[in-house]
Amino acid sequence: MLKPIRLLAAAMAVSGWLFCLPVVAIETPPVTLDTLDKSMAELVEEQNLPSLSYAIIQPDEPAHIKAIGTLQKGRETRVTPDTAYRIASISKMFVGIAAMQLIEAGQINPESRVADVLPEFEFKNPWESTHPLKVKHFLESTSGFDEMSLSEFVYDNQPVMPLKEALSYHPDSHVSRWAPGTRHAYSNTAAAVTALLIEKVTGRPFTEYVQSNIFTPLKMNHTFYGTAPESVTMAEGHSGGNIVEHEHLLMYPAGGASSSITDMHRLLTFFVERARLCLTPKP
């Protein structure tokens, strides 16, 4: 039997972000790993998917990790549990973990004013005198900033622009639409600004910091930002049955990471088991 539902849902949620699976109604939900594997294989066939990978984590049971399909539609090379896929906004988790590490180390104070710790970052906050923009507002997505502009979304970030320059590319969206801390609004810019602060306090590139302080300790050997290293096999992106080119995001800390289902299993296990490899669990 698959148990408990909470862990099953969490594992599938991570896989769903990897592949943006279509919503398909299942009359009889699978109750064993064998029936689940059969249902997944049927889904790949029915939906004409190039590939799909998923992981199931259950208490006191070994992880069940599967990869189905090929690297590219119509080709024979099979995907494996170590094949990397774009993981979109799951990338923000690494920004959050890195920030919390530095908060625990006393190098970042979430109550600090952004104007004090990042004076080079251009923004407008009409409530700055009474409700100053603070570091914690970027971590909570309560800065009040609008989403990135279209020109920022479509910018092909090759060669990779330094974060300071990337955040200066189109600063018109860096305006608090309400008093910071009073409302929540999703923001890709917030993750990029936090990554810039991480670079400033550590004196290291953001990608280098997360590699040595998150990916390596968690043994996430197939996770990276940007272009895949030679040691990692990357699945081709597809849309409407056609291959799409890898897009290099301007605000890459927010959505530019790639990872394998094996590494996503390690990340999920880190959260579920409240491991001490990267952060100190709170009681």
**Average pLDDT over the chain, rounded to an integer:** 87
Cα-Cα-Cα-Cα torsion 143, 149, 154, 160, nearest 10 degrees, comes to -50
Note whether 108 and 152 are within 8 A (CB): no
Task: Write down the pLDDT at residue 271.
Answer: 87
> For residue range 253-276, what is the model confidence (pLDDT) as tens digits?
999 999 999 999 999 988 888 777
Question: Domains of the chain by range and CATH?
Answer: 5-89+221-272 (no CATH), 91-212 (3.40.710.10)
Of the chain, the percentage scoring pLDDT greater than 70 comes to: 89
What confidence tier does 1 reach under pLDDT thresholds 50, 70, 90? low
Instruction: DSSP for 227-263, please give it.
Output: SPPTTS-BPPEEETTEEEPPP--TTHHHH-EEEEHHH
pTM recorded for the entire structure: 0.87
pLDDT of residue 282: 66
Closest CA to 24 of 6, 44, 7, 9: 44
Chain segment 150-192, per-residue pLDDT in tens: 889 888 888 999 999 999 999 988 999 999 999 999 999 999 9
